[in-house]
Structures are given as C-alpha cells and as structure tokens.
Structure 1
Amino acid sequence: MALPLGIGIPTNADISKACDEFETYETRDVMYKVSMLHMKSHWEEPEGMTDAIGVLLLSWNQQFYRIHRGLNLKKVEDCIIDNMSYLNEFKKRKIISLSDEDEDNIKRIFNEFNNALQGLDGTKSPVSTAKALHLLVPDFFPLWDASIARKYKVYYTKNPDEKYLLFCKYSQTIYDQVKEYKSLPEKSILKIIDEYNYSKYSRGWI
C-alpha cells in the first residue's frame, strides 16, 4: 500500500540513528523490556499477561490513567481470556502476512481491547490499545501515538478501529523494506519502526 504524502521508507542509516537516539533519551523503554519478558514467561496465563500490560500502560500511559481514574485490570484479563485463540493465531505470524481476510478480526480485537483498556471514567485510549496489542503480538501489531497517527493521517478521534487497520497496512509496507536491512538491532522489526516514528515524528530527535 502506498504511504501517505510526507511519509517515506526510512533508510538503514535512518533506522540506526533513530534507535540510537531512542535508547539515549527514552528512559521509559526499560518498562517495555520488563513487560515483554513478563509477557513471554506468562503466555497463556491471563493473570500474568494482564500484569505485563498493566506494568507497561501504567508507566508509559501514566498520565492518561491518572486523569481518567485508573484501569480495570479484571476487564483486561477477561478480554485476554475471550481473545486467547485469536492472539495465539496472530502470534504465529508477522505483519508481512496481513491480508484482506484479517481485516474483520483486527478491527474486532482492537475494539474489544479498546473497551477493556478504557479509563474508569469511560474514556478510551486507542494509544493504550495499540501498545497492549503490540506487547501481546509484537511481530504483527504496530505501536502508535497521537503524533505518529496524525503524521500518517490516521488520527483516531473517529473510527479508531478502521484507522488502526490502515496504520497496520502502512506498517506492513515499511516492514517489507526494513526487514532486508543488515545489522538491525535485536528487537522486533515493528518496535524498530516505532522507534523511528517516535524519534522522528513524536520527538524530532532525527
């Protein structure tokens, strides 16, 4: 899929610089590493998987959950249980395999987690949802934030499930090129792409 105007495929040098800047300045990334390790060690254990999501979101999205009165982890656990079979299927795959047949399931699982991850006052966070989905299935679901979504012209005020699906397709296009680069950091390629997007569009470090 063609990328939006103003978005190009990052070069190998772009990726390297972005990841270097990210590791230098984004100290919160340690919570991602801790959460990812916990998720891997507790896969198919809904309580442990929920804990991993809680650790990530209550640190990375601390301000959102403070303003919106917290996060109901029991709802998150129930959502994981209800979607475990779908998560297992997506976990076998990489985003490069995304096809039209996946669209309904991606939108459905996004909406279910978007509901489960809302603040206790009912305010939803598509950013939290993408982060949680990526933590669960890091090779298939990409991360975004408000700045990245705006730059990719998929801002999520309306129809966030459709906007996220479109962002997945854009991420697939970038993934297809970046996966061929040599000497990539030892991270999922979608995490590398997110570090590039974050460094360039969210923080202006590169």
Structure 2
Amino acid sequence: MKFEGPGGRDPGGGRRKMLAYAGTGKKPWGPSLHELQSAREAFEIHEPRDLFYRAATELVTLALEGKVSLSLAEALAVLLQTWNKMFYQYKKFDGQHFSEIEQLIADNYAALLTFRKRSIETFSPDDRPDVSRVFRAFEEVLGPVGAAKSLHLLAPRFFPLWDRAIAQGYGLTLKEKGRNADRYCRFMGIVKAQVESLGGEQALGRNPLKAIDEYNYCKFTKRWI
C-alpha cells in the first residue's frame, strides 16, 4: 500500500486508508521492519536528544521503584523541558506548573500503574473512556503533545508518542488544547494495528512504540526519510 505522506502525490488518500484500516482486521498502513531500521539509523545520526529520552525513562522507573531521591514529577520534568520545549516557549515551567504535574500524577496514579503493566496490543474499545479521561487531564496541563510524551514515559509500551506533524500525517490534525482525547484514542487504534502487523516486540527486539515513533518523527516531523 503506497503512502506518499505530506507533500507527496497522495496527501489525503494514504491517510484515509490508514484510518479506514484501523480496527478492521485488515493489514494497516505502516512501516516495514526494514523501514523502521532505516529510520532508526537516520534518527541516531540526527537526533542527539534521544539521550534525554533514555535518561528520563530510566529516571521514571527508578522513581517508581523508590530507588532515587527524585520524585516521579521531577523525572518527567527532565524530559518535558527538553523534549517538549515548543510548549514552554509560551508557558513558564515554574513552581505552579510543577505542582500541577504532581497533582496530575497523584490524581491518576492508580490508572497509570495499571496502564504501565500493559502493551498497546491489549488496547480495546473498552479502554477508551479511561484513556480519554487520563489523556484529557494531562492535556489540560501539558498540551496534546506533552500529554502523549508524559503518558508514554509513564506507560512506555501502552501509550504511543505523537507531535503535531505526526498527528497531521495520520489524518488526525490536532485541535485546541482539551479537545484531542478522541483523536489520541484513534491514534492508539492505528498504532496497535501497526504493531500487530509487524509481529510485536518479539519481531522488533525493542519497544515497538519507540520504533514507530522514530519512524514517524523522521518521516513526518523532520522528513529525513
């Protein structure tokens, strides 16, 4: 199935097919294992900030296990101020904002721990109310991109990553803050189908959500591939 993406010969058709295939049981549009590897190579060459992702992921794990003095909110802050810097061009990362992040985690802690134990392959329509509620709460504080990034750090095999360019590339152009939970659930359905088509983590040998995000970032955000 050919998909040219933004600026290609078929800017809408591929996205329509992508959305149409989600949840139908048919083979979805998505990258091949070879394309994921090519994206990985391009990502490693061009994107040194991946160091912050690895550090923040490790910090979140250690914070949850109580093995570091940093709180879970502080571990998230490490990534948000580097990986979500566009958001903070218009909003201060001050004490009040940090308190809002702490409250977010406290209010949704039980749900987040449950999601952390799961993979995207277990996502079903029954999850939509809880996912929408949690995503909407995070979005109100962190915006739709920061919400996805934070949730991914907290449940890295369940919540996929996106940014505005990626969402648009998938035919899910982001609306204003607070109105994107349904789009995120649709995105989860698409990514779930992609992961299943690839053969899951066993076939990739690493977290499929991170691999797919690297591909999406290289293709839609940076257009390196």
TM-score, normalised to structure 2's length?
A: 0.81
In structure 2, runs of 5+ residues without a counterpart are 1-16, 21-27
Q: Deviations over 1:101-130 (max 9, x none)?
A: 10000000001111232xxxxxxx200110
Aligned residue pairs: how many? 196
Equivalences for residues 42-191 of structure 1 within 5 A = 42-43=63-64, 48-70=71-93, 72-117=97-142, 125-158=143-176, 159-180=179-200, 184=204, 186=206, 188-191=207-210
**Paired position in structure 1 for 2:57:** 36
| Whole-angstrom CA distance in 2 between matches of 1:171 and 1:156 | 17
Q: Is the 8 A contact 1:44 1:84 kept in 2?
A: no
Find the structure with the greater CA-based Rg.
2
Whether 1:204 and 2:204 are equivalent positions in the alignment is no
SS of structure 1 residue aligned to 2:190: helix
Give the C-alpha shift of residue 52 in structure 1.
1.5
- Contact (CA 8 Å) 2:201, 2:208: kept in 1 or not? no
Corresponding residue SS for 1:139: coil
Indicate whether 1:17 and 2:38 are aligned. yes
Distance 1:185 1:99 in 2: 24
Q: Say what the alpha-carbon RMSD is for the aligned residues.
A: 2.1
Structure 2 Cα separation of the partners of residues 96 and 14 of structure 1: 21
Structure 1: 4+ residue segments shifted above 4 A: 44-47, 180-183
One-letter code aligned to 1:157: K
Percentage identity across paired residues of the two chains:
33
Q: Name the CA shift for 1:115/1:18 in 2 (closer, same or farther; >3 Å).
A: same
What are the ranges of 5 or more consecutive residues in structure 1 without an aligned counterpart? 118-124
